[in-house]
């Protein structure tokens, strides 16, 4: 990745535009999203590529390549939406301002006294990421679903950087507010994992189930039991007794704190759980 002296700052993308970018897998690969998460949680939203790579236990050149890829995509879309004005002789004029490397479209940057170069999360990107984390996303896919229905906000038609349609923005804001309300209510009600009863709210997440899928907030689980429930490796009987897949060995069950017949710690919708249980039972039959 190109190395340039001095602090590099560019704020051409708004918070709403970053929300669209975060939802677009053609720009934001899983690796790039992990880099954004690391920067968001770093002091002052800044860190070096080598330090982030070491924490992820991967080669830092892979980070540079991923960010360069995202920056090239964003730059191409930006240039298409902001063509250079024609000169008086009819030829295309030189673009105004300094040329930017691809990574500068993704992060700001600054060089420390020891020569270490830092990536810095752009303020608008940090605001957008904060909204996503408060809504327990990107683990959830509702935002991606909303944007997929609006091709212009995805940049597949027209301009990615055009003002997003009012209805799309309204739906995104409604989704984020719905998630915030859900988490506040869950916390007020003594939030806990439906299986083990763990009450550390920052680690709990809502897993959708039954009819309607992600349109329902779902049940709260800790990371381990939430993953098992989402994979239909555990479910609950109509009376709330825990059901465990035969694919989980006795050792697995002990390690994950699972015992057949454990009672659900949170109430659930019997109708929606019946849908989840049917899938659980069908998977169980396939394993036999």
Q: What is the DSSP string of 139-197?
A: TS-HHHHHHHT-HHHHTSSS-TTSPPPHHHHHHHHHHHHHHHHHHHHHHHT----TTT-
- Least confident range from 61-65, 152-156, 206-210, 232-236: namely 152-156
Looking at the structure, do residues 46 and 68 belong to the same domain, yes or no? yes
Query: What is the per-residue pLDDT across 24-69, written as a single tens digit (0 to 9) for each?
Result: 777 888 788 889 989 998 999 999 998 998 888 888 888 888 899 8
Model confidence band, residue 227 (pLDDT cutoffs 50, 70, 90)? confident
Tell me if 95 is assigned to some domain.
no
From residue 193, alpha-carbon distances to 23, 112, 184 in Å are: 28, 44, 15
Do 167 and 126 sit in the same domain of this protein?
yes
**Helix, strand, or coil (residue 281):** helix
Q: What is the DSSP letter of 86?
A: B
* Residue 217 within a domain: yes
**Residue 130 is part of which domain span?**
8-80+100-146+163-189
- Same domain as 246, residue 135: no
Q: Measure the CA–CA gap between 120 and 142, rounded to whole angstroms.
A: 28
User: Of 2-6, 126-130, 173-177, 238-242, which gets the smallest average pLDDT?
Assistant: 2-6
User: Is 113 found in the same domain as 218?
Assistant: no
pLDDT at 176: 72
Are 263 and 170 in a shared domain? no
Q: What pLDDT digit, counting tens, does each position of 159-195 carry?
A: 444 445 667 777 777 777 766 776 666 555 678 899 9
Does residue 88 lie within any of the structural domains? no
Whether 276 and 247 map to the same domain: the answer is yes
CATH number (domain holding residue 54): 1.10.10
Q: How far is CA 13 from CA 79, 107, 119, in A?
A: 13, 11, 17
Of 137, 155, 189, which marks where a domain is finished? 189
C-alpha separations of 60 from 1, 4, 22, 31, 137 in Å = 11, 18, 22, 12, 26
Buried b (16+ CB within 10 A) or exposed e, 259-285: eeebebbbebbeebbeebbeebeebbe
Number of folded domains in the chain? 2
Same domain, 167 and 231: no
Q: Is residue 90 part of a domain?
A: no
**Domain co-membership, 136 together with 233:** no
- pLDDT of 1 reads 40
The answer to whether the pTM exceeds 0.75 is no
75: in domain: yes
Determine, yes or no, domain membership for 36: yes
**Statement: residue 79 has pLDDT above 70:** yes
Query: Quick one: pLDDT band at residue 231, thresholds 50, 70, 90?
Result: confident
pLDDT of 123 > 80? The answer is yes
Sequence-distant (6+) residues with CB within 8 A of 287 are 245, 246, 247
Nearest to 63 by CA among 1, 10, 117, 2: 1
Same domain, 179 and 229: no
Shared domain check, 177 and 47: yes
Q: Which residues contact 257 (CB under 8 A, 6 or more apart)?
A: 195, 196, 224
Tell me 40's DSSP state: H
- 173 and 250 housed in the same domain: no
Q: Are residues 35 and 17 in the same domain?
A: yes
């Amino acid at each position: 990745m190109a190395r340039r002296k001095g602090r590099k700052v560019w704020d051409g993308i708004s918070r709403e535009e970053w929300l669209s970018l975060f939802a677009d897998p053609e720009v934001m690969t899983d690796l790039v999203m992990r880099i954004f998460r690391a920067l968001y949680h770093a002091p002052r939203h800044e860190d070096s590529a080598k330090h982030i790579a070491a924490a992820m236990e991967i080669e830092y050149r892979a980070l540079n390549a991923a960010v360069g890829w995202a920056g090239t995509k964003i730059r191409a879309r930006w240039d298409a939406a902001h063509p250079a004005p024609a000169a008086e002789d009819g030829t295309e004029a030189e673009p105004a301002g300094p040329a930017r490397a691809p990574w500068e479209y993704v992060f700001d940057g600054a060089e420390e006294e020891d020569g270490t170069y830092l990536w810095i999360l752009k303020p608008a990107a940090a605001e957008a990421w904060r909204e996503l984390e408060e809504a327990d996303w990107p683990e959830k896919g509702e935002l991606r679903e909303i944007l997929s229905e609006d091709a212009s906000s995805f940049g597949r038609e027209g301009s990615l950087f055009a003002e997003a349609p009012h209805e799309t923005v309204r739906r995104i804001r409604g989704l984020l507010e719905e998630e915030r309300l859900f988490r506040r209510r869950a916390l007020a009600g003594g939030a806990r994992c439906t299986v083990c009863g763990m009450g550390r709210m920052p680690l709990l997440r809502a897993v959708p189930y039954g009819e309607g899928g992600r349109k329902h907030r779902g049940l709260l689980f800790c990371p381990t039991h939430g993953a098992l429930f989402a994979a239909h490796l555990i479910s609950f009987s109509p009376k709330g007794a825990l059901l465990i897949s035969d694919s989980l060995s006795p050792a697995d069950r002990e390690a994950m704190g699972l015992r057949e017949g454990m009672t659900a710690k949170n109430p659930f919708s019997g109708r929606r759980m019946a849908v989840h249980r049917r899938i659980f039972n069908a998977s169980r039959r396939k394993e036999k």
